[in-house]
Amino acid sequence: MGEDSRPLLGVPKIHKVLRKLRHKHHCAYKASTLKKCVVFVILLSIILIIIYSQYIGHSPSYLTGLIQRSNRPEPNIRCGTMNGGPRIPQNHDHKTEARLRSYPKVLVFVETIYSKLGRDIAELLVHTRIKYKVEVAGKSLPVLTNLDKGRYGVIVFENFNKYLQMDKWNRELLDKYCREYYVGMIGFITPEEETFVGSQLKGFPLFIHTNLKLKDAALNAASQILRLTRAGETAWGELPCNDWTVFQANHSTYEPLEWAHRSDDYQPTESNVRTPLPTVIQDHGLFDNIQRVIFGSGLKFWLHRLLFLDSLSYLSHGQLSLSLDRRLLVDIDDIFVGEVGTRLRPEDVKALIATQTRIQTMIPGFKFNLGFSGKYIYHGNSEEDKGDDLILENVDKFMWFSHMWNHQQPHLYDNLTVLMEDMMLNKNFAKEKGIPVDSGYSVAPHHSGVYPVHELLYTAWKKVWNIRVTSTEEYPHLRPARLRRGFIHRNIMVLPRQTCGLFTHTMLIEKYPGGREKLDESIQGGELFQTIVYNPINIFMTHMSNYGNDRLGLYTFESVIKFIQCWTNIKLSSAPPLQLAESYFKLYPGESDPVWGNPCDDLRHQKIWSKNKSCDSLPKFLVIGPQKTGTTALYTFLSLHPAIASNLPSPDTFEEIQFFNAHNYLRGLDWYMNFFPVDSNSSHYYFEKSATYFDGELVPKRVHALLPHAKLVTILISPAKRAYSWYQHTKAHGDIIANNYSFHQVITASDTAPKPLRDLRNRCLNPGKYAQHLERWLTFFPPQSLHIIDGEELKSNPVEVMNEMQKFLKITPFFNYTEHLRFDPKKGFYCQVVSGDHTKCLGRSKGRQYPPMEEKSLKLLQRYYLSHNTALVKLMKRIGLRNIPNWLKEDLSDSPA
């Protein structure tokens, strides 16, 4: 009976039952079949369990667990801090003056561009938004300095042996760089088939033992590296992989950062003490004046990801430190929406409030954020309807946000009035039930309409709810989660939304993919834990069904918050969505402008795209410029082709939309697609021409995001001639600067000249740096998607140029331009044939004759463009273009030495 000495109630009754059972048992032995005996034993067990659970006041937990109607998981995170133990003081500030010697960027040396650990390192840096450059080890070193500063604050070797085995010249050069610019190094000992015991690392008083199986990792609380990571706990259990390396040193420069123990049959010492083995070691630089951190295993062990981030912070002297502040918001979608049997009952609502109260002791101000569709309240059984009532009785305990009244997908509405009426129903419901309506936050059901953007949704949100912030996990792509970002559209801030591994159907721990072990793995150092560590602002999407049944939502968040407190120095806080959004875009102002992706390339995006949109209303190729090279003539020739169609004209910019490089981009995808109306009776090959795209810094990235498979057409002429033509063009259009300064004065203007003069100088000179701009395009597009036209040949032999163009575009049917283009001697160029012998030429502004360029200006420009033209020849050869234009050969041959 243990400590309980109370007499058992009903003991005679128990004995009476047992006598009868023994009699039946005796009879069973006389029976001829074993089956009856087995059935009897089962019945006996059930009866005993029922009797003992009824009469024994302190029944064991495993016994009562068997007879519970459900077996809900309870948070089981325990650590010294959670039990009131003292926190070990740690240095959280790595900043020193040495950080001013280099830029906050990481140089990562990988074995190959495909190596697993190298990809893991890069992905971790992307997730935490740390700038980096990847180089394949073994090649020549990249440029390490920029004037008097180092280009990189930390050097990382995916395989530390690649550093040890570098040729003498490069090794000395790299070491010299690290010493002069106070740059630290991180290395990983990668697994090898051969096992080393007491093997010395080349040139260092450090020895390794490889291919070990380890368990029970702990941290050195005295280490100055620890900042994000908190020491004082032990990660109990087997460590991932069986190929760990441990270290042994005989120099004071080395200090262990992490220890673990052997998990095989290794015998302890005579004193029966198991010696911890260093698995991550810090080199203080006392041996060769270079500080390092060396890992005995990769990043599969979750703790190493934290230590890697702390090592970057320490070795960069605080330049690459992540903030310790994290903000957390948990949305519970569809609080009144769900099938009977999945909804919240009163005891679930009480558990929700109780858990929220416990979380508030760890996260000040924390409240669950409930999303509602009023139409579906009281759609459960009697108990579930009582749950709805209890939620409404506790309205003030939560934050609230609006869905649609009928939980309909907004992108299915193509009428603004109807959409607004639906929203008004939900708003009126909220006012009737006392639900706050001023949060400024809303989420569309099924992720619909936020991204890809449905313009009517944004308009209705503004008008009905005055929405200022929303969230989505769709932008720019659902997967991988590390690439989710925010953007602002029509003054509505869109925050990246995360998942916690729980979805609408995730209601029972036994049904969770991979079971409880998989969920706990995500919580205890895995994906969910890392999501909070890597993102300073986290909005998690969960559903009402996650909070009934097994209450997995409560288990998940209480557990991960406790685990974060045990293992990190992160300071968790919460705030309403509007404050989170303002903080987010203060942290990442560069994300304000969106990058529109192509919904046609993502099945999930297509499903939540407005039904009146079509993938056919996007151009197949772009004429990207540059200006004054013949783009208008090419546009005209292309428009003659019966299978090719251009965009509708713009009232502001005529035949050019100028979407990707101007403020028009922020008008959104709908605005752009309206220039390409879909005709069900045609199969047009759409294109657009905007000559300003060529040298736009953001244009290639934007074009690739929306039109990743587009073909690109550019026309090149002598850059000196192009610069002079642009000057004359602006002069003819009455530009004040062009009419008050000579061409030579414009191209020689200094950086102290008035801004309008500098602007004209730049528009004359910068587009002619052809190789520089083409390299930017080739960063996003493969060479085979780029078609370069010789502008002089387009002028002298357009038929041949257009024939080559058709082959490049693979357009059918083949169009015979010979019958449609004819040279006009008055104009001096080819024009469209109309009405038999007549021709229709471009306007008077085209083909205008200018006075010849001054010799001194020509010579100056030939010198100016010499390096750019040389780079262009190299680029053309690299991408497989054999025919170098004559103008390029002449410019290079005439260039002064």
pLDDT in tens, 155-182: 999 999 999 999 999 999 999 999 999 9
Mean pLDDT score, 514-520:
95
* Of residues 441, 457, 447, 463, the one with CA closest to residue 578: 441
Positive or negative torsion for Cα 710, 711, 712, 715:
negative
pLDDT > 70? residue 271 = no
Q: What is the pLDDT of residue 31?
A: 47
338 CB-near residues (< 8 Å, 6+ apart): 376, 379, 380, 544, 545
* Best-predicted range by mean pLDDT (74-78, 411-415, 829-833): 411-415
Amino acid at 580: L
- Band of residue 41 on the pLDDT scale cut at 50, 70, 90: low
pLDDT > 90? residue 892 = yes
Task: Give one word for 329, left, alpha or beta, with left for phi > 0 and alpha for psi -120 to 50.
Answer: beta
382-393 vs 346-360: helix crossing angle, rounded to 10: 30
Amino acid at 154: V
pLDDT > 70? residue 15 = no
pLDDT > 80? residue 86 = no
* Of residues 539, 577, 497, the one with CA closest to residue 326: 539
pLDDT > 50? residue 84 = yes
Segment (H or E) for 43? helix 34-55
DSSP strand pairing (184-188 vs 498-499): unpaired
Q: What is the pLDDT of residue 52?
A: 45
- Band of residue 55 on the pLDDT scale cut at 50, 70, 90: very low
pLDDT > 60? residue 353 = yes
Q: What is the pLDDT of residue 54?
A: 44
**Alpha-carbon gap, residue 814 to 360, rounded angstroms:** 71
What digits encode the pLDDT tens for the residues 792-807? 999 999 999 999 999 9
Q: Which residues on adjacent β-strands are paired with residue 645? A: 686
> What pTM value is reported for the model?
0.87
CA dihedral 866, 870, 875, 877 (to 10 degrees): 150
- Band of residue 37 on the pLDDT scale cut at 50, 70, 90: low
Candidate list 628, 711, 721, 731, residue with the active-site label: 628
Q: What is the pLDDT of residue 498?
A: 95
What digits encode the pLDDT tens for the residues 606-619? 999 988 888 888 99
* 613, 599 Cβ separation under 8 angstroms: yes
Mean pLDDT score, 503-518:
92
Q: What is the pLDDT of residue 71?
A: 77
- Band of residue 650 on the pLDDT scale cut at 50, 70, 90: confident
Chain position carrying tokens 């100016």: 864
Q: What is the pLDDT of residue 615?
A: 85
pLDDT > 90? residue 789 = yes
- Rounded alpha-carbon distances, angstroms, from residue 476 to 218, 371, 446, 454, 544: 39, 24, 16, 15, 26
What digits encode the pLDDT tens for the residues 418-461? 999 999 999 999 999 999 999 999 999 988 999 999 999 999 99
Q: What is the pLDDT of residue 27?
A: 45
Any catalytic annotation for residue 628? yes
pLDDT > 70? residue 89 = no
DSSP strand pairing (234-238 vs 487-489): unpaired
